[in-house]
Amino acid sequence: MNPRRVASLAFALAFLIPLQASADPAASPRVEALISKMTLEEKAGQLTMNTTFPPQESNYRDIRDAIRAGAVGSVYNVHNVNQAREMQDIAVKESRLKIPLLMAHDILHGFRTIFPIALGQAASWDFDAIRRAERVAAEETTADGINMTLAPMFDISHDARWGRVVEGAGESVWLASRIAEARIKGFQGDSLSNKTSLLACVKHIGANGAVIGGREYTAADVSQRAMRQEFLPPFKAALDAGARCFMAGLNAPDGLPTIANPWLLKDVMRGEWGFKGIVMSDFDGVKALVEHGLVRDGDRIETARIAFQAGAGLDMQSNDFFRAIPKLVREGVIAEKDVDDAVRRILVVKEEMGLFETPHHGLEPGRTKTPPPTKEALAVAQELAEKSVVLLKNSGSDAQAGGKILPLSPDVKKVALVGPLADNADDVVGAWSARSVLSEVVTLKKGLEQRLPNAKVVTTPGGRTHDARDEEIAAAVETARDAEVVVLALGEAFADTGEAQARANLDLPGRQMELARKVLALGKPTIVIVMAGRPLVLTELDQISPALIYAWQPGTMTGPAIARLLMGDVEPLGRLPMTFPRSLGQVPLSHDYRPTGRPYLDPMEGFRAGYGDTSIKPLYAFGYGKTYTKLSYGAPQLDRKVMRAGETAKVKVDVSNDSMRAGTAMVQIYVGIRVARVSQPLKQLRGFKRVKLDPYTTQTVELEVKADDFAYWDVDGQRIMAPGPIDVMAGFDAEDVKTATLEFRP
Ligand code: BGC
């Protein structure tokens, strides 16, 4: 039949068949024509994503043969430009239906230009800088022929032991939701069809961060109410910002692996949210239903049936959909129409990206290699690295009695740079560093040398992150003894965080504390810089260091960013996106905990929700971060005592700069719903505002709270706003706030 007639017939049919139409993407003649021509095997192939790694299973074909046969519609782990070109060429020239591939990679914090780890970026609280970083990442990635990222990641977690906190936006659903909007806009640009737009697959929907004991892949029992209130909001925000793909978590909150959870994948996502895009499994997530204990060993038909019927539409890696779906249709277990719907969702995204017309997307003919970062890309990386650094402590020292150590004097002549992160490119790029090239990373040593051309910077690492010899430590101490100022660079190795990198101990690894004690015992003006992928327990370091900085893993522009911050060329703007514990036993820990029937009292009293041997208070609260100025904030003043549904209240806070240095104040706003049908957190972040202050000036900062900020989820799945008193808190961080109260009468 003439292809044009097939297309128009299919188009007409699509309107005649109302079933599930509301949950499906708008049909297009091209897509309908393709679906009408596809064999069941080709349909199952479109629902299959495979890695380009060498085959692991004996029945697994070479990826190129699979593409040629239409057995694979998407690939990931695309290693280089030539591979991207070759695979897409096979798909669009040699496969029967010439359907282009989705080609994916995990782009978590940059492609060639490496930005700070995602958690570090979250510490910037700078959504525009994050958006611009993702734009750079998208431009670099698409120019290599990759059109999809298995990112961003928004697994809310309160557990610093979990290695994947490195990939997320921290513990606050509000902050993570704003970052979700920024990342989606950055990756996808104005329109998916632009050649520099990268299809984002937001992960890992469910409650993937609700791990037990910090261990990867585990899951606490998470109720549907908690899922909606504490885990899903960033995913919904990403959807509203234009996300077309979600990846289900590998774990099983509430006992049900997310890929097998029809309540989430169908009722909530398709039904309530009206999501029309792709829901994919994580790596082997379909097959893992066997390991989870939902399916008898070896029954790789049943795994596919459960996941498909639960609402999954793309199987990463297990090949169970490919194996099972044709058979399940032929046996009448699943309807071919449902398979068509899943295929349609994928083809519509491919079409929207313009892949049928321009299959190589951003990959220009003639390109064979990934070029080094551009000047513009490096500028964005440096800006974001500067903005993510959090100043934890800045006191005086014996050498500078009464003064603050930071910023350093421009006249400094001799700096000792010690510690395993001093001249280390490997670890500062962090986990998931895509196409990073270590020789392009500007280490702290290089950065300090460039920034202080007239000073002598003597570098002695004193060992590696995980081990050191006695003589290495001794040499570093000698270098420090001889200097005017000491910069002590400590931290984690890149492999200490990331997938399956849980730690049961949140101290600095190896002998680094030993090195720190010895160096700090010299009593020199010392700035301790910690570069790590998660919050660590810094209680002792906080006590013995005169100045302490948390720089996360800052990426390609580590050196210049930190050097500029030390010298005061830029002020510290970072604020913690996760609560830092004072002791390991406090974890999991977050600012938005619920009160209990015997709420904690400070100081602790008997029969209260605290510890016998320590406070429940963190070492550094969520939102904490110092500046180089002396700031004070007044109490919040509300423009009304009573608020109704749909209204927005203005909150005014006076902020003063009581120092001779200009600087930026950042007022954070938290709300606490005091009376509710379900016990609510005492405080949850709901916004913030920055304002620049000249020396010795005061300004009134105006923020808002909306009635919607007081909504919460009831146990029966209703989002409600109930009458009652609301605490509106404003201040420096989640602990250091002042409170005003209003009466909510929706
Ligand atoms: C991870 C995903 C990742 C995938 C592919 C999985 O093990 O959980 O986040 O996208 O591997 O690299």
Identity of the residue numbered 235 = F
Over residues 467-487, mean pLDDT: 97
Among 59-63, 90-94, 377-381, 642-646, the least confident range: 59-63
Q: What is the pLDDT of residues 303-332, one digit of tens each?
A: 999 999 999 999 999 999 999 999 999 999
Task: Answer for the pair 209, 164: CB distance below 8 angstroms, yes or no.
Answer: yes
What pLDDT is stored for residue 632 in this prediction? 97
Beta strands per DSSP E along 68-147: 74-76, 102-105
Quote the domain boundaries for residue 551. 381-586
Closest residue by CA, ligand 1 atom 6: 283
- Domain final residue pick, 550, 571, 586: 586
Looking at the predicted structure, is the pLDDT value of residue 509 above 60? yes
Among 24-33, 84-93, 411-420, 492-501, the least confident range: 24-33
Q: Are residues 544 and 657 in the same domain?
A: no
Task: Answer for the pair 72, 134: CB distance below 8 angstroms, yes or no.
Answer: no
Within a domain: residue 173? Answer: no
Q: Catalytic residue among 126, 155, 282, 341, which? A: 282
Using a 10 angstrom Cβ sphere, with 0-12 exposed, 13-18 middle and 19 or more buried, the burial of residue 615 is: middle
What pLDDT is stored for residue 686 in this prediction? 98
Within a domain: residue 199? Answer: no
Separation of CA 745 and ligand 1 centre (Å): 46
Within a domain: residue 651? Answer: yes
Closest residue by CA, ligand 1 atom 8: 282
How distant is the alpha carbon of residue 449 from its chain centre? 32
What pLDDT is stored for residue 74 in this prediction? 97
Band (pLDDT 50/70/90 cuts) for residue 61 is low
Pocket of ligand 1 (CB under 6 A): 106, 150, 203, 250, 282-283, 499
Task: Answer for the pair 467, 425: CB distance below 8 angstroms, yes or no.
Answer: no
Closest residue by CA, ligand 1 atom 2: 282
Q: How far apart are CA 211 and CA 218, in angstroms?
A: 5
Separation of CA 225 and ligand 1 centre (Å): 27
Using a 10 angstrom Cβ sphere, with 0-12 exposed, 13-18 middle and 19 or more buried, the burial of residue 355 is: buried
Task: Answer for the pair 524, 483: CB distance below 8 angstroms, yes or no.
Answer: yes
Q: How far apart are CA 599 and CA 327, in angstroms?
A: 57
Instruction: Tell me how crowded residue 384 is: count the other CB atoms within 10 A of its CB.
Output: 26
Separation of CA 116 and ligand 1 centre (Å): 20
Using a 10 angstrom Cβ sphere, with 0-12 exposed, 13-18 middle and 19 or more buried, the burial of residue 370 is: middle
Q: Which residue has the tokens 């596919």?
A: 304
Q: Are residues 572 and 675 in the same domain?
A: no
Residue 636 preceded by cis peptide, ω within 30: no
Separate counts of helices (H) and strands (E) for the chain: 21, 26
> Which atom of ligand 1 is closest in space to residue 167's alpha carbon?
9
> Which atom of ligand 1 is closest in space to residue 204's alpha carbon?
9
Looking at the predicted structure, is the pLDDT value of residue 1 above 90? no
The single-letter DSSP state of residue 491 is E
Q: Which of 217, 432, 499 to mutate to test the pocket of ligand 1 (most atoms within 8 A of CB)?
A: 499
Q: What is the pLDDT of residues 621-675, one digit of tens each?
A: 999 999 999 999 999 999 999 999 999 999 999 999 999 999 999 999 999 999 9
Q: What is the pLDDT of residues 563-598, one digit of tens each?
A: 999 999 999 999 999 999 999 999 999 999 999 999
Band (pLDDT 50/70/90 cuts) for residue 25 is low
Domain of residue 491, CATH code: 3.40.50.1700
Q: Are residues 573 and 513 in the same domain?
A: yes
Q: What are phi and psi of 120, to 5 degrees?
A: -65, -45
Domain of residue 666, CATH code: 2.60.40.10
Within a domain: residue 267? Answer: no
Identity of the residue numbered 68 = R
Task: Answer for the pair 51, 21: CB distance below 8 angstroms, yes or no.
Answer: no
Instruction: Tell me how crowded residue 504 is: count the other CB atoms within 10 A of its CB.
Output: 9
What pLDDT is stored for residue 10 in this prediction? 37
Q: What are phi and psi of 488, to 5 degrees?
A: -110, 110
Separation of CA 250 and ligand 1 centre (Å): 9
Q: 202-205 and 245-248 as β-strands: parallel, antiparallel, unpaired?
A: parallel
The percent of residues above 90 in pLDDT, for the chain, comes to 91
Over residues 195-205, mean pLDDT: 98
Band (pLDDT 50/70/90 cuts) for residue 24 is low
Q: Are residues 543 and 650 in the same domain?
A: no
Over residues 279-292, mean pLDDT: 98
Count of the separate structural domains present in the chain: 2
Q: How far apart are CA 247 and CA 282, in angstroms?
A: 6
CB proximity list for 256: less than 8 A, separation 6 or greater: none
Q: Are residues 577 and 694 in the same domain?
A: no
Beta strands per DSSP E along 52-195: 74-76, 102-105, 148-149
Among 60-69, 144-153, 199-208, 534-543, the least confident range: 60-69
Compute the C-alpha angle 559/560/562, nearest 5°. Answer: 70
Sign of the Cα torsion 6, 38, 352, 15 reads positive
Of 297, 295, 298, the C-alpha closest to 309 is 295
What pLDDT is stored for residue 602 in this prediction? 81
What pLDDT is stored for residue 27 in this prediction? 73
Sheet with strand 684-693: strands edge to edge: 642-643, 737-744, 724-731, 663-673, 684-693
The single-letter DSSP state of residue 525 is -
Of 709, 746, 702, 701, the C-alpha closest to 727 is 709
What pLDDT is stored for residue 305 in this prediction? 98
Q: Are residues 657 and 558 in the same domain?
A: no
Closest residue by CA, ligand 1 atom 10: 150
Q: Are residues 436 and 540 in the same domain?
A: yes
Over residues 727-744, mean pLDDT: 98
Looking at the predicted structure, is the pLDDT value of residue 5 above 50? no
Task: Answer for the pair 707, 647: CB distance below 8 angstroms, yes or no.
Answer: yes
Task: Answer for the pair 101, 175: CB distance below 8 angstroms, yes or no.
Answer: no
Q: Which of 105, 282, 284 to mutate to test the pocket of ligand 1 (most atoms within 8 A of CB)?
A: 282
Q: Which residue has the tokens 């082997």?
A: 284
What pLDDT is stored for residue 9 in this prediction? 35
Separation of CA 198 and ligand 1 centre (Å): 17
Q: How far apart are CA 664 and CA 688, in angstroms?
A: 13
Q: Which of 50, 150, 157 to mutate to test the pocket of ligand 1 (most atoms within 8 A of CB)?
A: 150
Task: Answer for the pair 103, 157: CB distance below 8 angstroms, yes or no.
Answer: no
Within a domain: residue 27? Answer: no
Separation of CA 302 and ligand 1 centre (Å): 23
> Which atom of ligand 1 is closest in space to residue 77's alpha carbon?
12
- Domain final residue pick, 586, 621, 641: 586
Q: What is the pLDDT of residues 251-264, one digit of tens each?
A: 999 899 999 999 99
Q: How much is the CA Rg of the chain, to the nearest whole Å? A: 27
Within a domain: residue 439? Answer: yes
Separation of CA 282 and ligand 1 centre (Å): 6
Q: Which residue has the tokens 């996760």?
A: 578
What pLDDT is stored for residue 15 in this prediction? 35
Q: Are residues 489 and 387 in the same domain?
A: yes
Task: Answer for the pair 302, 295: CB distance below 8 angstroms, yes or no.
Answer: yes
Q: What is the mean pLDDT of the chain?
A: 94
Q: What is the pLDDT of residues 373-382, one digit of tens each?
A: 999 999 999 9
The CA-atom distances, in angstroms, between 154 and each of 232, 519, 738 are: 9, 38, 30
Q: Are residues 565 and 659 in the same domain?
A: no
Over residues 710-729, mean pLDDT: 96
What pLDDT is stored for residue 459 in this prediction? 98
Q: Which of 102, 103, 157, 283 to mutate to test the pocket of ligand 1 (most atoms within 8 A of CB)?
A: 283
Task: Determine whether 282 is an active site residue.
Answer: yes
Q: Are residues 558 and 699 in the same domain?
A: no
Q: Are residues 556 and 415 in the same domain?
A: yes
Q: What are phi and psi of 727, to 5 degrees?
A: -85, 130
Over residues 121-140, mean pLDDT: 98
Within a domain: residue 17? Answer: no
Separation of CA 294 and ligand 1 centre (Å): 21
Within a domain: residue 35? Answer: no
Q: Are residues 550 and 450 in the same domain?
A: yes
